[in-house]
């Protein structure tokens, strides 16, 4: 009997996709952030955090979203700290979609290929009436975003990824999108692997539970380092 185990079609496709990934070079932490990490160590911050992340960092994310977009999210219930935006994206898509659902991702099909494949979801570039989830990016011009949002079927959630630091438009400011827009983004350099999900609607507890099952929590010391970086900004 052959000892070789044949890979499934999905596993083979994922293996091919992973080869294309590039390592992210680490960036040195500034001295004031290193001091914050040392202080966290002195306090004994070497354990798992609360499932959604340390509260002071979630409060900073809530304040950031309020200041930049004017949207209100509750730090205690609506925000989850993730291991980078990649995990935030993965958690949202895996939890919201079911096998056979359609993920509409205008201009983002390459970055969502692997997660859609894992979920056995159909990935399309255009927003259609049968879409189950729509992924949009803040780097898209506002006029284009408004047109895309006008095409989103009633009740379908929107996954809004913050990948442009200067934009101030957010779908949640439009009538009907307040409670069905999930915001994801990265905090700090990619090498720190700290991101977030913000969901003021019903999915927040389910997203938190899935994040817990996936990676338990984002690294404690990295969260305190990120808090120090945001406080100094």
* pLDDT tens digits along 91-125: 999 999 999 999 999 988 788 998 999 899 999 99
| Predicted pLDDT of residue 2 | 43
- All structural domains of the chain with their residue ranges: 56-232
For 186-207, letters b (16+ CB in 10 Å) and e give bbbbeebbbbbbbbbeebbeeb
pLDDT band at 19 (very low <50, low <70, confident <90, very high): low
| Predicted pLDDT of residue 217 | 86
Q: For the whole model, what pTM was predicted? A: 0.88
Is the confidence at residue 155, as pLDDT, over 80?
yes
Task: Name the CA dihedral angle for 44, 46, 49, 54, rounded to a multiple of 10 degrees.
Answer: 60
For tokens 């999915």, name the residue.
203
Is the confidence at residue 203, as pLDDT, over 80?
no
pLDDT band at 3 (very low <50, low <70, confident <90, very high): very low
* pLDDT tens digits along 80-91: 999 999 999 999
**What is the Cα–Cα distance from 226 to 205, expressed in whole angstroms?**
24
With a CB cutoff of 8 Å and minimum separation 6, the contacts of 167 are 138, 139, 142
**What is the Cα–Cα distance from 169 to 176, expressed in whole angstroms?**
15
pLDDT band at 232 (very low <50, low <70, confident <90, very high): confident
Terminal C-alpha separation, the chain? 62
Is the confidence at residue 4, as pLDDT, over 80?
no
- The fold for domain 56-232 equals 3.40.640
Is the confidence at residue 9, as pLDDT, over 90?
no
Q: Which of 46, 216, 71, 226 is nearest to 158 (CA)?
A: 71
């Amino acid at each position: 009997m052959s000892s070789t185990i044949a890979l499934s079609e999905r596993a083979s496709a994922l293996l091919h996709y992973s080869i294309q990934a590039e390592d992210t070079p680490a960036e040195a932490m500034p001295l004031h952030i290193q001091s914050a990490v040392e202080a966290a160590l002195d306090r004994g911050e070497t354990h798992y955090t609360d499932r959604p992340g340390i509260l002071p960092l979630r409060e900073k994310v809530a304040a950031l979203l309020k200041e930049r977009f004017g949207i209100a999210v509750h730090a205690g219930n609506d925000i989850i700290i993730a291991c980078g935006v990649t995990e935030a994206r993965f958690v949202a898509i895996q939890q919201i979609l079911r096998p056979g659902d359609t993920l509409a991702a205008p201009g983002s099909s390459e970055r969502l290929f692997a997660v859609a494949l894992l979920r056995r979801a159909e990935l399309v570039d255009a927003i259609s009436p049968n879409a189950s989830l729509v992924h949009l990016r803040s780097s898209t011009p506002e006029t284009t975003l408004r047109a895309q949002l006008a095409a989103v079927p009633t009740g379908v959630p929107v996954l809004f990824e913050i990948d442009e630091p200067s934009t101030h438009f957010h779908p949640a400011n439009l009538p009907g999108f307040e409670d069905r827009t999930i915001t994801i983004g990265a905090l700090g350099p990619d090498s720190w692997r700290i991101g977030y999900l913000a969901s003021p609607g019903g999915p927040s507890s389910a997203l938190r539970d899935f994040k817990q099952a996936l990676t338990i929590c984002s690294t404690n010391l990295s969260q305190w380092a990120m808090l120090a970086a945001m406080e100094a900004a």
